[in-house]
Amino acid sequence: MRGSRKPAIVAVAVASALAIAACSSSGSSSSSSTNASSSSSSGSAKVTLTWWNNGNTQPLLGVWRSVAAEFHASHPNVTINIDAIQSDLFTTKMPIALKSDKPPDIFQQWGGGQEATQVKSGKVMNITKLVAPWIGQLGSAAEGWQVNGQQYGIPYDLHMVGFWYRKDLFTKAGIASPPTTMTELGADVTKLKAAHIVPIAVGSKDRWPDAFWWEYFALRECPTAST
């Protein structure tokens, strides 16, 4: 079984490997967006953007620093200051930042309901028209950063998560081939249990990657309608 974790950047302008979006409406983020446009047209205005991401350890810390440096080299009037934050802290820091007059100009975002909640602040830019010429190349992956059909962020990285399986145990349980749908997976789990075989095991102890499997099952199995 495979899935994809799609973190995204909501940003004013970054390198092609990342994403584009922006904070807008009020406060410093609004002026940053305006100044960024001015620098493109006049070629003289200096702009400094703040970028919150979760690259607080190597190698990602160095990767994002190099991305910011390369962008600055190509666009000398734009300086990007990176504020590396642990992933878990985004849950508490972003709501507070979006209520302030100085939210980050660029911030990492995992899409879905959390992004929809942030859009209500009025400080996240609708980038639908800006990305229209090329967003289709990303296929359905980009839909995770849409709210009411409008694009507010861009996924820049896709991860594949799956299971290793033993052919001999599948044969013992009467399973001819790996499942390709959630329905087939559920049926195979039943067969494995009937054969007294533990269907699925995750061995990373208390490390965060365990959350991948829970997240993917929840996204596929839990209803999306509010109750």
Structural domains of the chain ordered from first start? 3-159 (3.40.190.10), 162-221 (no CATH)
Pairwise CA distance, residues 212 & 5, whole Å: 8
- 40 DSSP β-pair partners: none
Is the Cβ–Cβ distance between 19 and 111 less than 8 Å? no
- Residue 65, classified by CB atoms within 10 Å of its CB into exposed (0-12), middle (13-18) or buried (19+), is middle
Note the pLDDT tens digit of each residue in 111-132: 888 888 999 999 999 999 999 9
> Count of alpha carbons within 13 Å of 57, Cβ hemisphere only?
2
Q: 194 pLDDT exceeds 60?
A: yes
Averaged pLDDT, 99-108: 92
Q: 52 pLDDT exceeds 70?
A: yes
Q: 51 pLDDT exceeds 50?
A: yes
Q: 19 pLDDT exceeds 70?
A: no
Q: What is the pLDDT of residue 8?
A: 36
Q: What is the pLDDT of residue 2?
A: 36
Determine if the pTM surpasses 0.75: no
- Reported as a pLDDT band with limits 50, 70 and 90, residue 162 is confident
